[in-house]
Structure formats: C-alpha cells, structure tokens
Structure 1
Amino acid sequence: MNKYAIIDVGGKQLRVEPGRFYDVRHFASIQDVSGSNMKVSINRVSLIRRGSEISIGHPWLSDATVRGRILHPCFGSKLVIQKIHSKKKT
C-alpha cells in the first residue's frame, strides 16, 4: 500500500496498484480489443502516492502515465433486448 494511483477510465475512477488485476469495462481510446497481452497507457491520472509523497492533479496530472496490459478481453458488445407490449390490456 506504499504505491498506488487513482485513474479515470471508462467514466469511473479506479484505484490501481502495481501487480494487481482489475476488470475495466470501457476503454475509450481502444476500438478493437480482440487480442490478449495488448499494452495500454492511461494519461488521465488524478492522484499518485509514492510512500509519503502524494501528487494531486487538477483535474489530472500533466506528466503522469499509468501503463498496463490487457490479459483477457472478457467483455463483448452489449445486447439490445426489446419488449413488445400488447395494444389491448387483455
């Protein structure tokens, strides 16, 4: 817990630490996530903590980048389900 960052990915803020795995639903900059071991870098970093040093951005830090890789693309496209209602109330 000495080193972590808070990033903005997919419209949500997420606290990330080195060596941990996270499920992220949406990457705005990546259109096709078909292969595994795809490297990503995220520039929208709000906070970085290294030991007792804390850097806070307003809204983001300008010189910070969090790098990672996609191990398995487990989320596919959304399904559209439509309900058909009857015109008569019987």
Structure 2
Amino acid sequence: MYAIVDIAGKQFKVTQDQFIYTPSLEGEEGASVVFDKVLLVDNDGKVKVGAPTVSGAQVSGKILSHLKDDKVIVFKKKRRKGYKKQNGHRQGLTKVLIENIK
C-alpha cells in the first residue's frame, strides 16, 4: 500500500514505516502530524485517484528531527568588472516517519 501526498507544495510517494525528508514543518520532535492532501492511494492494486484529493484519506506521521540539508554555494561573477559575490544556503528539513495510511 502506498500513497502520493502533497506536503508543503511538494509531492511524495510514501509507504508505511518509511522515513521522508520534507521541507520544514511546524511542530516539536516527537509530535504527530496528519497530512490531508492525499492525491492517490493504491491498496493492493485498487487505485483511488483524487480530483484533486481523495476524500477521507489521511496519512499520519511522526516528526523525528529537524535538520539542515547540504550546503549549496551560489557564486555570481561579472567578467572584467571586478564583481564577485559568493553566498551559501542550507535549506531546513524535517525528518518524518510515516506511521499509517488510511
């Protein structure tokens, strides 16, 4: 059984007892979260496709930790002008354990 869920504007294919890294979510570590925007549910070959979401379907999970992604270096340069600028960015992530798909 798997589901496709919209979490913070991104779509994830999730199964039970799976870890996913989502964009930063509100909540403390150990708190439970429920995702209502379920776009598709596959239950042993029986597929339900939502228009746009499947009514009554929910995916519940548990927040395990908040962390940061790998650093991305942003380097800008204009040749022959003496202009160089370098920035780094680390996106915030939340590690979520998928507990149940209803």
State the TM-score, normalizing by the size of structure 1: 0.71
Q: Which residue of structure 2 aligns with residue 22 of structure 1?
A: 20
Spell out structure 1 runs of 4+ moving beyond 3 A: none
- 2:30 is aligned with 1:37: yes
TM superposition shift of 1:48: 0.4
Paired residue for 1:48, among 41, 47, 54? 41
Higher strand share: 2
For these two proteins, the number of residue pairs brought into alignment is 74
| Deviation digits for residues 39-77 of structure 1 (CA, Å, limit 9, x no counterpart) | 0000000000010111110000111000001011114xx
Structure 1 unaligned regions, length at least 5: 76-88
Q: Which residue of structure 2 aligns with residue 69 of structure 1?
A: 62
Residues 7 and 16, structure 1, Cα contact 8 Å, conserved in 2:
yes
Alignment of 1:4-15 (within 5 A): 4-15=2-13
Task: State the identity %.
Answer: 30
Kindly report the root-mean-square deviation, in angstroms, between the aligned alpha carbons of the 2 structures: 2.2
Structure 2 unaligned regions, length at least 5: 69-80, 83-102
Residues 33 and 62, structure 2, Cα contact 8 Å, conserved in 1:
yes
State the TM-score, normalizing by the size of structure 2: 0.63
